[in-house]
Amino acid sequence: MPQKRPLSAEFSKGILRENPVLRLILGTCPTLATTSSVVNALGMGIAASIVLLCSNIVVSALRKVIPQKLRIPAYIVVIASFTTIVQMLVKAFVPALDSALGVFLPLIVVNCILLGRAEAFAGKNPVLASAADGLGMGVGFTAALLMMGAVREVLGTGTFLNGAQSLLGVFGENALGGFNGFTLTDGGGFVPITFFIMAPGGFLVFGLLIALANRLNKEKEPACSACTHCPLAKDCSSSM
């Protein structure tokens, strides 16, 4: 349903109430795979947010031109194009991030947050509202990834923001004044628990964060606008 709401509301809903990761449970693969460190999580979040913002704007601008029956392939082409552009930019300017994210950078194209927003929002709403929605969802996605990354990196390797310089790529040789993350293990009082940066730790931390989000949100059900458009919704039990 297209609604008339202020832009700030379209922006802010993605951060808490309809957080794509913790409330709508979208984009789980990159959430689990790229959060073994804060820097990787931040890089993934920013890359996906840029693609989301651009694809939302273009899909919204073309919403009267794209035929109803061809909309999904059209959305996929738009998203794939922006993913490719972002991938090339990252390869050129932040090569360390490209190798850290590996296959998950091109896989932004099948991140269901992007197709979900195109289908649920940008395809029916004006450009400005879609841009606000995309930006909000992107910030929400990045924030959730950062939380995951912070928990996993601090517990799993005993560092925080380790490798921060690599995120600045070719611009940032000395931009941070030699800062390259905190080390928490110096005093010898804390032994990193490697479990948390391994696969099972990812599942566990993600589960606990969702539980926390459920606990903090008084509403039982998230205002799930994306799930109704997710092709998996019929058989999906995570929406229950």
- Residues of the shown chain interacting with another protein in the complex, contacts defined by CB under 8 A: 25, 28-29, 32-33, 73, 76-77, 80-81, 83-84, 87-88, 102-103, 106-107, 109-112, 115, 198-204, 206-208, 210-212, 214-215, 231-232, 235-238, 240
Q: What is the dihedral sign for C-alpha 15, 21, 23, 24?
A: positive
Kindly state the smallest distance separating residue 55's Cβ from another protein, in Å: 13
Q: Write out the two tokens for 10.
A: 């379209």
Question: Of 227, 51, 34, 11, nearest to 145 (Cα)?
Answer: 34
Compute the least distance from the CB of residue 178 to another protein, in Å.
33
Shortest spacing between CB 77 and another protein, in angstroms: 7
Which C-beta is closer to another protein: that of 102 or that of 126?
102
Nearer to another protein, 175 or 208 (CB): 208
Minimum distance from residue 78 beta carbon to another protein (Å): 10
What tokens appear for 208 in the block? 């606990």
CB of 66 to another protein, least distance (A): 16
Q: Write down the residue that tokens 């009082």 correspond to.
A: 189
| Smallest gap from residue 112 Cβ to another protein (A) | 6
Nearest residue (CB) to another protein, 128 versus 198 = 198
Q: Which is nearer to another protein, 39 or 105 (CB)?
A: 105
Angle between helices 199-216 and 127-157 (to 10 degrees): 120
Decide whether 81 or 225 has the Cβ nearer to another protein.
81
Nearer to another protein, 64 or 218 (CB): 218
Number of other residues whose CB lies within 10 A of the CB of residue 20: 27
Closer by beta carbon to another protein, 87 or else 130: 87
Rounded-to-integer distance, Cα 108 and Cα 54, Å: 13
| Cα separation, 19 vs 214, whole angstroms | 11
Report in angstroms how near the CB of residue 176 gets to another protein at its nearest: 29
Cα within 13 Å of Cα(89), Cβ side? 15
Distance CA 215, CA 131 (A): 30
Q: Using alpha carbons only, give the angle 212, 41, 107 rounded to the nearest 5 degrees.
A: 110
Beta strands in the chain (DSSP E): 159-160, 182-183
